[in-house]
Structure 1
């Protein structure tokens, strides 16, 4: 008798944690487990700014799926459409081959993509900080601007190459600006021909406060730290237009700048839009046990799902954070196992453990369990949390070793030539144009039935 087929879509925090738990909860004879993931690693996203800064190597935040998953079949690709009635997932493999995966239970954890707006020139000229490739590219790009500014004979070119802008005052944007500003402030010592005063970092956000989740006191502390380091923070302001040599802001300023890093929020994976199911602000609406009411055998979690936040109540949904994704993965796996065995499913409930923000070096702010910390103590909490969250001992050792080497030996500020002479902007990394329409999904499944 054929075993039930469980398909996990997504190799991020939620999907990988779910697959790991399913391996522990279910005997090999109870179900076949497969996971669809474009890469053979789980990306530890919170440390991407440190990859861009050269503090950590890319490999250290890429946690091997094959170290964590021992009997789950890994399908290298991405889900581009789902037919819930036929229980078929359409997958585009990394070879561009289209394959069809039948399932009895499907767990949707496809994550999110960078949220963009209809701003002239944005997708053509902005860089992101959502993938490992983007982080590695941004580091190369920033150092190349120093090299090119040093070689420039035109003053206007030099000025535009030495101005950098990060849009988004959340954790990703704030940490990216802080870590990369630290890189340029140390690297400039290797460029005696350049005037250090020409290097300017801008952090822009439409919100009136920086990282409001931290509270007024810690948010103000972080803001003061950034400004004392020379980062110009502009709040209540957004981007109006982007060209290859300048960024125009909504307050009328036109800043000569060739580096725009866009971290202004995320949107649920476009895969969600291919389903005939209810959504909440673009995220797939689920019950408290993470099942999708309109689709039999379907569960959803992580950034792509609007899971009720029972700890807050009042109709709130869980924010798209790594902390919730990992814990939702465990509960979703338990509920899939319960559904398979005909047992009761449990609602997801988790109280946020706190927030950590690494501002580079010994500077950090954190709020573990509601306790406000700054400086070395906050940095210790931040790094301790990251080590705890990494899922393999190899990854923990790599990260600790990188931190030690960077603290003692510093950085050589070299470019690797990654994506040399290619644009490598937002549209080049996240492949958001590969998803099928609902009509195309029906056509694919119909052709599959004919062949069978």
Structure 2
């Protein structure tokens, strides 16, 4: 009897949790497992702002799959760009640019999300994201380059625009990014004798009326006070209306001379979800509580790319796209895949959120573990303790802890690592959002292959 072919798309929290459980609970005789991912690591996304600030090295948050998996899973280096659910074929674009087709019996879709953008003039051409490891490293180089260029410039207008940084998005990613990079530039200013530290301006902009509303009014206000105490200008109820290479125009009419717009205004489901031709909700694939896709045989979806009912709230609400839910959904999907192979009943995904942590750098943090509101050093201890324990390998834990200790003792460094190019990289360049096929293109692609074969 031939082994079942299980294909997992995505090596984020959800995909990796699924693969690891499948490897532990399925015998090699039952199934062959393949994982589609552009890079052979799992990115620990919550610590990305600390990479951008230079507190952590990039490899600290890139947890090797080959080190932690049991070597049973075949890693396909590329990204899924289309799925033909009738032919049970996933179309994959390898990192070489070559397009290949991967047949499957059971498909697990955990491709994650992309940066959500809007039809704002100049946005996709001039904004910089914080969704991938490459973007974080690039952003660090860019910010330090602005200090270098401002220090060397004799033009006061140019200097002012290079020293003004605008972050859009008052969620966790935007708030932590603004806090960590503001701290970096404040410390760096002491190394630039020709720069007036008062010229370095940071702006955090969000259309919502409150900062990180999930934390509640009290902790949201504490976080807001911390940012403003550090000199970050926070503008709520405001967004961006236009972006150019040298200025950012806000919806309240202000024009900010700036060479840096960091865009963290939410995420959108991977465009892969639209290629299936199945029902979606705001781009996320609609799934049952068991994480199966209605009307589609052998397909499961989870994480940021799926609209997962939250049964702890009656099933009307959806699970938020957090790492906490993604990891647990990965294990639940693995159990559902195994149950499908063994003709056993499937169980719904059930998990109640355990709390939130926000690391603002230094000794500042706000946390809400199990509903308990904390700020300052206790919150920082909880935030870093949670992140450290969530890292999957001892090597990753050692690297992160060592980096934290070195930064605490030696402080920040301000060295550019050479990732800047003559042409500024865009969101599209980093996230490859133009690579996906339409459902019609997927159908034609698989039909042509059948005709040839």
Tell me the TM-score normalized by structure 1.
Answer: 0.99
Is 1:211–2:206 an aligned residue pair? no
The separation in 1 between residues aligned to 2:428 and 2:449, in whole angstroms, is: 31
Match of 1:311, SS state, is helix
1:44 aligns with 44
1:18 aligns with 18
Is 1:178–2:179 an aligned residue pair? yes
The separation in 2 between residues aligned to 1:425 and 1:147, in whole angstroms, is: 22
The separation in 2 between residues aligned to 1:387 and 1:283, in whole angstroms, is: 30
Confirm or deny: 8 A CA contact 2:54 2:413 kept in the other structure.
no
Alignment of 1:213-252 (within 5 A): 213-252=214-253
CA drift of 1:187 comes to 0.1
Alignment of 1:193-208 (within 5 A): 193-208=194-209
Confirm or deny: 8 A CA contact 2:303 2:321 kept in the other structure.
yes
1:109 aligns with 110
CA drift of 1:367 comes to 0.2
Alignment of 1:12-411 (within 5 A): 12-70=12-70, 71-313=72-314, 315-411=316-412
CA drift of 1:85 comes to 0.7
Confirm or deny: 8 A CA contact 2:142 2:420 kept in the other structure.
no
Confirm or deny: 8 A CA contact 2:170 2:206 kept in the other structure.
yes
CA drift of 1:165 comes to 0.6
CA drift of 1:420 comes to 2.5
CA drift of 1:314 comes to 5.2
The separation in 1 between residues aligned to 2:206 and 2:40, in whole angstroms, is: 34
Match of 2:66, SS state, is helix
Deviations 1:101-128 (A, max 9, x none): 1100000001000000000000000000
CA drift of 1:412 comes to 2.2
Deviations 1:203-238 (A, max 9, x none): 000000000000000000000110011000000000
Match of 1:338, SS state, is helix
The separation in 2 between residues aligned to 1:412 and 1:277, in whole angstroms, is: 49
The separation in 1 between residues aligned to 2:342 and 2:92, in whole angstroms, is: 28
Runs of 4+ in 1 over 4 A off after TM superposition: none
The separation in 2 between residues aligned to 1:382 and 1:203, in whole angstroms, is: 22
Confirm or deny: 8 A CA contact 2:81 2:436 kept in the other structure.
yes
After superposition, the CA RMSD in angstroms is: 0.7
Which residues of structure 1 form unaligned runs of 5+? none
CA drift of 1:357 comes to 0.3
CA drift of 1:411 comes to 2.1
The answer to which of 287-296 and 439-448 deviates more is 439-448
The answer to which of 86-95 and 272-281 deviates more is 272-281
Deviations 1:24-66 (A, max 9, x none): 1100100000000011100000000000000000000000011
The separation in 1 between residues aligned to 2:33 and 2:280, in whole angstroms, is: 27
Match of 2:313, SS state, is coil
What is the total number of aligned residue pairs between the two structures?
A: 452
Match of 1:232, SS state, is strand
CA drift of 1:94 comes to 0.4
Question: CA 1:163–1:270 in structure 2 vs 1: closer, same or farther (change >3 Å)?
Answer: same
1:429 aligns with 430
The separation in 1 between residues aligned to 2:77 and 2:433, in whole angstroms, is: 17
The separation in 1 between residues aligned to 2:29 and 2:146, in whole angstroms, is: 57
The separation in 2 between residues aligned to 1:282 and 1:430, in whole angstroms, is: 16
The separation in 1 between residues aligned to 2:288 and 2:68, in whole angstroms, is: 29
Match of 1:92, SS state, is strand
Match of 2:235, SS state, is strand
CA drift of 1:312 comes to 1.9
CA drift of 1:439 comes to 1.5
